[in-house]
Structure 1
Amino acid sequence: MKEDTRESGRTTNYFRYALAAFTALLVLSLGFALIPRPSAEPAAPPFSEQARASALAETLRLRSVSQHLAKDSSGAERLMYSRTVTLLTTQARALLLPSDAAESAVPSPSQTESAGSESAGSKSAGSETAAPATAGGPATASPPPSASSLAAGLSASGKLRLAHAHTADGGMARLLAAVGTAQLVQAIALAGASGTPVPDLPPAPAPMRTLATGCQPSGTAAPMPSANGAPASVPSEPAGTVPPVAAEPNESSGAASATAALGRVVRTEVETVYGYQVALTRLDDQAASQRARDLLATHEALVDEAETHTRVHCAPVPPREPGYALDASFLKNPAAGLASLEAGTLPVYGDLVALSDGPTRHWAIASLLGAAQRAVGWGSDPGPVPGLVLDTSQLPPLPETATPTASPVSPPS
């Protein structure tokens, strides 16, 4: 009897041990199952979105500086700064997305660009916050904003927008090129009105030449002649800009679309050349006549360049018309007529920016900036987004709370 009792006790103990082990295993497995896995890092937004957010943040920052200057000035100075505020407000609304309004509920500092260009522009435009204290020394306040610092900030921002337009997707490239062009034009106007040095402009790309190797399929960079006349595989990049590392594919830049945009550029420039030839016979002012002669040579060179890009894209060059019809207002006031012609070239260059890539887009961006400057020289206003036909009544309202957060712009993969 005693042996049976011992055996029964051992069996009961084994059963208890097994039950405890099973319970512990069950608890552990449930615990591991309930522990949430670490969330994966969100994917970086596309380069075009990074460039847009950066442009919006810097445009809003420059707008705030302009508002501060307008508030503390009067007369002609106040009007000058108010025009800058209006321009930057329209640009910010064009760059705004609905999600940006929700993200701007809390003020955030201005962001730093990967190339450091926008940081330099922020310092030059004048920050109202105190600089951090150096080792062993007190904190020093930044100098107050001024017309010269605002012009420098607009120039730095405009150059960076144009550099990002080299690589962004088609539609965003046109918007960035338009914003950058207007900011550079406004920087020049501010510098001229305030008597400060005029900011430097990005250097124009080297002229393209058609080589014996033949045309290049759309979407590939045409070989360029080097300084010693030998072909080089890639055109030299202007100094001081962000190099367009491997441009993103452009869905809208097929051969037909790019060559159609080039055809419109050729026809528009040929018509502009004809307008200058007619205007030269009717301009009485000597300075205006000399400017017209100089710009006539510029447009003749632009026609040659546009035709060369067309050949490089394996497309036929549009035939030149013998003449064009000019209305009576042009013949009566040729200077105003030339301003209208120059303004008419802006949309065709904007289209070419959106529909091209590589060296052709670089040339289109530089030509858009040149066209805006020529329009201003004849008294025309290229607007806040030259090269882009925009209905401002359809733009979203601008939140007045703060500057949205923008991540540093990284080159596309």
Structure 2
Amino acid sequence: MSTSLAIFRAPWCTEFPAGMTTWSVVKDDTREKRWRELLPRFFPRIALLACITVVVISLGVALTPGSPKASADQPFSEQARAAALSETLRLRAAGEQLVTPAAGAAPTGSQAPIAQTVNLLTDQARALLGPGDEPAAEPLPASSPATPSAAAQPGPASAAELAAALAASGSERLAEAAAADGGIARLLAAVGAAQLLEASSLAVATGSPAPAAADPASPALSGACRTPAATSLPAAAGTDGAADAEDASLEGALAAAVRTELETIYGYQVALTRLGGEQSSAAAKQLARHESLISGAETLSRAHCVPVPPREAGYTLEQSFLASPASGLGRLEAAALPVYGDLVALSDGETRQWAISGLVGAARRAELWGADAGSLPGLAADPASFPSLPTPSASPSTTR
């Protein structure tokens, strides 16, 4: 009897694990059954909530401003422009500190030339501003694409240090101009040339040691025709929009350089007959330099397979040139600056290096004869048209 009961036990007489009652199992089965019945009913609501969550997350990602790209992702020309702006602002801020006397201190004789330097750096910083640039009032660290960041570098603390820093910055800008694109190359060359000249002028005016930075050397040229010049390159920044299309090309820029040097040589030959003493010696030295420049311009023309403009017997000189030949030579040298600026923008390689060297040389010779090369030699633009610097500090009122 007991054996039959053990074999034919009723289905509900199931054995349960220790501690679990029949009531608890029935309760769990009821919950599971209820959940299975309710799940299809709540599924649309769950799916809707999931879709809303995905949409909210997507909108958040789309509306959150992305972090700016690293400078390494920017084109070299943009890096060079930003580095030039940063260093120019740093030097400008240092100059403002030097030109503002401390409380109770008497003004010094070096403050006027430093004020001129600050004005020059202000014009350059305004020219270097790009879309979206908002330079801070405090000096910004230099960050050249070719050198490590100078974030920890203090600003110049004296006129001598400012002159040395200007010369170093000018050399850096000229080196970057050799590798930058068109219009930016011309702008960097103009900034670099002016900073080199200003470094020398500031050192002389304040009795400081001459800066160690040297002017860029002209490369050795070969005249074999190897690459035909482009005939329709875009005009560079700062050029006259009304210029002929031929002028906005390497061929046109080389031809303009040849014609400018020929006219300048003629001017020096005439001036030598009217100058005396040290001016005559200086003119003879510069005439030899221009004879070398015309040879270089003609060599580059042949290297780019473009025709060389013929030499003319003479050129027309204004009566003011004959009356004051030294000033006339200054005007001739200043007139050559935009010509070399065009060639910087429309060339590359050794041709651009030659043009950069010619730009710096023309700017120095212009100042030698009393002409003002300006804050951006070689850039045909009015500084009054540049955007203003959004800084609370004001530059000294002394004008260059």
TM-score by length of 1: 0.74
Residue 290 of structure 1 is aligned with which of 281, 303, 308? 281
Which residue of the partner structure matches residue 295 of structure 2? 304
**Separation in 2, partners of 1:251, 1:313:** 18
1:194 aligns with 2:186: no
In the comparison of the two structures, how many residue pairs are matched? 346
**Separation in 1, partners of 2:206, 2:368:** 18
**Separation in 2, partners of 1:171, 1:9:** 77
Q: Which range moves more in the overlay, 338-347 or 252-261?
A: 252-261
**Separation in 2, partners of 1:42, 1:80:** 39
Quick one: structure 1 residues 291 and 159, their matched pair in 2 at CA, closer, same or farther if it must change by over 3 Å? same
Which 5+ residue runs of structure 1 have no aligned equivalent? 1-6, 127-144, 220-249, 404-413
**Separation in 1, partners of 2:205, 2:361:** 20
Is the radius of gyration larger for structure 1 or structure 2?
2
1:31 aligns with 2:30: no
Q: Is the 8 A contact 1:167 1:173 kept in 2?
A: yes
TM-score by length of 2: 0.76
Alignment of 1:158-177 (within 5 A): 158-177=170-189
SS at match of 2:92: helix
Alignment of 1:11-410 (within 5 A): 14-19=36-41, 27-28=49-50, 30-36=52-58, 37=61, 42-43=68-69, 44-72=73-101, 74=107, 76-97=109-130, 99-100=132-133, 103-104=134-135, 107=138, 109-116=140-147, 119=150, 122-123=153-154, 125-126=155-156, 145-199=157-211, 200-211=213-224, 214-218=225-229, 251-252=234-235, 257-285=249-277, 287-401=278-392
Quick one: structure 1 residues 326 and 82, their matched pair in 2 at CA, closer, same or farther if it must change by over 3 Å? same
Q: Which has the higher contact order (CA 8 A, sep 6+)?
A: 1
Deviation at 1:260, TM superposition (A): 0.2
**Separation in 1, partners of 2:152, 2:376:** 21
- Aligned CA RMSD, in angstroms, stands at 3.3
AA at the equivalent of 2:228 = P
**Separation in 2, partners of 1:46, 1:259:** 27
AA at the equivalent of 1:119 = A
The percentage of counterpart residues that share the same residue type is 47
**Separation in 2, partners of 1:306, 1:121:** 44
Q: Is the 8 A contact 2:258 2:294 kept in 1?
A: yes
Q: Is the 8 A contact 2:91 2:139 kept in 1?
A: no
**Separation in 1, partners of 2:35, 2:123:** 82
**Separation in 2, partners of 1:303, 1:118:** 40
**Separation in 1, partners of 2:337, 2:165:** 24
**Separation in 2, partners of 1:381, 1:341:** 12
